[in-house]
Amino acid sequence: DAKTTQPNSMESNEEEPVHLPCNHSTISGTDYIHWYRQLPSQGPEYVIHGLTSNVNNRMASLAIAEDRKSSTLILHRATLRDAAVYYCILRRMNSGNTPLVFGKGTRLSVIA
Amino acid sequence: DAGVTQSPTHLIKTRGQQVTLRCSPKSGHDTVSWYQQALGQGPQFIFQYYEEEERQRGNFPDRFSGHQFPNYSSELNVNALLLGDSALYLCASSLQGLDEQYFGPGTRLTVT
């Protein structure tokens, strides 16, 4: 699997937008970009994924660079509950149940 | 609809002992994957079970073994425990062919 690079940690004020970056310069044309997050004392949970176009769901937005070598997870209004470790993961298209390959992720702190 | 459940929540074992961890997948899911998460690291894939057979395996020794039952629940067994086996063990369930994995809260294993 292609590798991703994320900052170790980031900090945000409550109710402000948060932009979490991820670099994946060796991404292949068939790799989807997935984001998972892990809240304290919980297992990881799926956030969002995309291939080329920007994606939105109730949790977040995913902005993908035109060359696909980087992406940004956007939390529009951070809450204290969003404090977690965020993982950016590449998965081959139609990979079915291939395992997730986690890096160390970005630890997001949210300040009230 | 219950999500993924794991038992026990915490466990303390002595070096050299054996341990069994249990996982019940989300309703309707047929595939179970196990991950090990050391402190400060992302989860690492151990193995995956589908149709009661081990389908994929990560870079873990044979001391790590598993089983899947006809009701899709699964067990992870670790023999001859080492201090380095101390970690959070996560179970994830999914439906064969679909990408999203749902994680349980994990079992915290401490080996002394």
A44 preceded by a cis bond (ω within 30 of 0): no
Task: Judge: A41–B45 Cβ closer than 8 Å, yes or no.
Answer: no
Residues of B in Cβ contact (< 8 Å) with A102:
35, 42-44
What pLDDT score was predicted for residue A94? 67
Min Cα separation B18/chain A (Å): 24
Find, in chain B, the residue whose alpha carbon is nearest to that of A90: B99
Alpha carbon separation from B10 to A13, A39, A41, B21, B105 (Å, rounded): 34, 18, 12, 10, 11
pLDDT greater than 70 at residue B17? yes
d(CA B48, CA B58): 9
The pLDDT confidence band at residue B98, using thresholds 50, 70 and 90, is confident
Share of chain B above pLDDT 90, in %: 91
Task: Judge: A43–B4 Cβ closer than 8 Å, yes or no.
Answer: yes
d(CA B44, CA B37): 6
Size of interface A-B (CB pairs under 8 A): 64
Which member of A42, A46, A87 has the closest CB to residue B105? A42
d(CA A80, CA B58): 35
Task: Judge: B99–A95 Cβ closer than 8 Å, yes or no.
Answer: yes
Residues of A in Cβ contact (< 8 Å) with B21:
none
Sorted by sequence, the CB contacts under 8 Å of residue B71 that are 6+ apart come out as none
Burial (0-12, 13-18, 19+ Cβ within 10 Å), B52: exposed
For chain B, say whether A37 makes contact (Cβ under 8 Å): no
Tell how far CA A8 is from the center of its chain: 13
For chain B, say whether A53 makes contact (Cβ under 8 Å): no
Radius of gyration of chain B (CA): 13
* pLDDT one-digit tens code per residue, A42-64: 999 999 999 998 999 998 999 99
* pLDDT one-digit tens code per residue, A80-102: 999 999 999 998 876 667 889 99
d(CA B92, CA A85): 17
Find, in chain B, the residue whose alpha carbon is nearest to that of A89: B42
Task: Judge: B103–A44 Cβ closer than 8 Å, yes or no.
Answer: yes
The pLDDT confidence band at residue A27, using thresholds 50, 70 and 90, is very high
